[in-house]
Chains A and B, each alone.
Chain A
Amino acid sequence: MNSADTAVSGSAAFTTADLRPSTVSVIVPVTERPEPLAELYREYAAPLRAAGHSFEFLFGCEPWARGLAGPVAALADAGEPVRVLEVANSAGETTLLKALAARAEGGIVITLPAYRRVESAVLPVLIARVEQGADMVLARRWPRRDSWINRLQNRLFHALVGRVSGGELHDIACGVRAMRREVLLDLPVYGDLARFLPLFAVREGYDVREVDAPQHRADVHTRIYGAGTYLRRLLDVLGLFFLLRFTDKPLRFFGLIGSSLLLGGAVLLLVLFIQRLGGEGIANRPFLLLGSLLAVLGVQAIALGLVGEIIVYLHAPSRRPYRLARTRTPRSEEAVATPVAADRQ
């Protein structure tokens, strides 16, 4: 049998007696609005200890947050399984997460925001689901305790994201997720895309599940952001749309836009040309300007798509356009439930 697969050879092959408590690394990126980290550690470490897991906590902070990490560094001195890493040139939360995962020692990695989102009791449940064979398990804040405004925002965001990704996830913003360590390291995410980690996992063909977790009391406060935040989210989704669907075929995206514009412009110019042949003056027609503008924009978009195709083509030898499924024994094949997101062709 394949040694790399023993931990995940399918739920049907498992009995509880087989389960060895896995080694778990909890990685905490200290980025926005962190809560006191020592308390956070105590709260979330307790259920892991109770479940008998061997675990470590990795706090990753950028240099500005070094002061915040002081109390947890003290915990490490006191013998708690805590490590604090400073990432000097981190470019966003994703880089931080990946850097932490690369230095984690556990086979299972849990990402935990530096603020309390869900009740800590969910952590052992997440771990159990990964041990049973899922690649990534998300905590979904449910039941929720917060106001209808928050829920409405969440619903709208996920409706939009769902349209773009085809996934049926309900709370990708929660940030509490458990996964096999190599899944996180494998995902092609960067910069500020950490929010969309589960969607990239679905796209890579990983088995992504959700687990309900009661929302933490500390997470309940109505959040209304500035207009800039919403604008950035919208841009994020646009970027996501492109990255998920068109990274290997940019001309499909730019070419479709460009050829529609070009077609519109060409029709306008043709109509004007015919009118001119009929003896009508066209020099004072704003449509001449509009037609030209559309045609020019169309050519620009197509040309940009072609440059995109050159880049994709040049990178093709170093990329692999597929990922193989993890090996499973035929016996466990039936036990593999349907993944969260439906595959699209």
Chain B
Amino acid sequence: MNGLDRERSGPHGWATTASAGGSSEPGPALSVVVPLYNEEGNIHPLVSAVREALAAVESWELLLVDDGSTDGTAARALECCGADPRVRLLRLARNYGQTAAMQAGFDHARGAVVVSMDGDMQNDPADIPRLVARLDEGFDLVAGYRERRRDKVLTRKVPSWLANRLIRRVTGVPIRDNGCSLKAFRRDLLHRLHLYADLHRFIPAVAAATAGARITEIPVRHHPRQYGRSKYGLSRTVKVLLDLLTVRMIQRVRERPLQLFGAGALAACVCGAVFAAFAAIAYARFGPDKAYSVVFPAVSLLWFGLGAYLLMLGLIAEAALREDLPGHGRNAPVVREVSGS
């Protein structure tokens, strides 16, 4: 009937990935996933822009993901579903945030290639064929970067520039613009990519680390916002920094976490040894009665204590990893045939 009815498969309102991405019916060549949160003014322009941009593509679907909007987003989207069977709507039970909305779209996309895009019409659907063409040259992920970005300089562009530099440095994945949603993915990459929390900002780094993705980027167009308002602010700096640490951890987790924590433990013990040396010197010079002989040893022991704690935590981390043995399941290495191709 409408796009929604197809999504239901269980009594909980859950649809399974298997039924969505399964092989029972051949999917379209291309799925475009667009998370939407209170974007009622942008939906009709968006759908017609996508339709126009993909006129040359033989089969495609547009997956609108309504992330618990409180305005007329769902109603507008349903109108589009009724007018064009290639447009589908997924509605989340509440506002979960962009990452979860994107993951919902990925789970239900049926195309061999999946393109993600913002719903605010700042990305240009006309860039989609170029992304897909680049993907066909042998990449798993093609990220767009916004050339001549059309946003406020002080609150959007400067923080974004700093954040991208930092992300590049910390993750080692050379992507210019992590904030641009316009990306193309190969379907088998998405099977190995599981987004949660706010990881959508770090998709290239996570994809490279967990799925061994071959990544590249191309410039895409960027338009100023016409309808609705931006849902971002400056307040997320601390969150992004902590998330970055998480991503670094995810990159490292395939190796032995004990070695990471062990390095921290060693550093703590070095601190402890330094203060122990101070304590010895103070004891030799002033004897046992002075405050020196209390403060220095106490500080030294604190740092040694931290070393022991980190070592034990590293062991617990190893125990957690055992659950998903390295070399199996999602930690299985990605192997590609290189010879003869």
Contacts and interface: CB of A to CB of B under 8 A. Distances in A.
A324 B268 contact: no
Nearest to A204: B93
Contact of B330 (A286, A292, A293, A317): A317
Contacts of A5: 8
A280 interface: no
Interface in B85-128: 90-97, 99-101, 103-104, 107
A310 B303 contact: no
A289 B298 contact: yes
A301 to B, nearest CB: 11
Nearest to A314: B324
A311 interface: yes
Contact of B250 (A286, A299, A313, A343): A313
A324 B103 contact: no
Interface in B279-298: 282, 290-292, 295-296, 298
B278 interface: yes
B198 interface: yes
A288 B282 CA distance: 15
A322 B92 contact: yes
Contacts, number: 174
A324 B291 contact: no
A17 to B, nearest CB: 24
B179 interface: no
A182 B249 CA distance: 37
A319 interface: yes
B74 interface: yes
Nearest to B101: A322
B50 interface: no
Interface in B230-284: 231, 238-239, 242-243, 245-246, 249-250, 253, 257, 261, 264, 268, 275, 278, 282
A299 B93 contact: no
Nearest to B91: A325
Interface string A284-301: 111011001100100110
Interface residues on B, range: 35 or more
A186 B7 CA distance: 18
Contacts of B321: 310, 314
A306 B194 contact: no
A29 interface: no
Contact of A284 (B66, B238, B291): B291
Interface residues of A, number: 55
A327 B5 contact: yes
A311 B296 CA distance: 37
B25 interface: no
A205 interface: yes
Interface stretch (A79-87, A123-131, A188-196, A249-257): A249-257
A259 B245 CA distance: 12
A307 B97 CA distance: 24
B279 to A, nearest CB: 9
For B2, B242, B275, the residue with the greatest tally of chain A CB atoms inside 10 Å of its CB is: B242
Given A303-B264, A324-B13, A326-B13, A311 B197 contact: no
B302 A4 contact: no
Contacts of B15: 324
A333 B249 contact: no
B78 A256 contact: no
A256 B238 contact: yes
B299 A255 contact: no
Q: Does more than half of chain A's interface fall in helix, strand or loop, or is it mixed?
A: helix
A320 B13 CA distance: 13
B327 interface: no
Given A252-B239, A288-B299, A296-B303, A345 B231 contact: yes
A283 B94 contact: no
A206 to B, nearest CB: 7
A289 B299 contact: yes
Given A4-B8, A248-B197, A313 B96 contact: no
Contacts of B336: none
Interface string B54-79: 00000000000010101000110010
A259 B243 CA distance: 13
Contacts of B282: 283
B299 A324 contact: no
B93 A289 contact: no
Interface string B11-47: 1111100000000000000000000000000000000
A63 B323 CA distance: 34
A327 B303 CA distance: 57
Nearest to B322: A314
Contact of A324 (B93, B250, B275, B320): B93
A284 B320 contact: no
A121 interface: no
B10 to A, nearest CB: 8
Given A251-B245, A322-B104, 5 more contacts: A4-B8, A248-B196, A303-B309, A323-B13, A324-B92
25 contacts: A1-B1, A2-B8, A4-B8, A204-B94, A256-B242, A288-B299, A292-B299, A296-B302, A303-B313, A307-B320, A310-B249, A310-B253, A316-B195, A320-B14, A322-B103, A323-B13, A324-B14, A324-B92, A324-B93, A325-B13, A325-B91, A325-B93, A327-B5, A333-B74, A343-B70
Closest 5 CB pairs of A and B: A205-B93, A205-B94, A284-B291, A325-B91, A316-B194
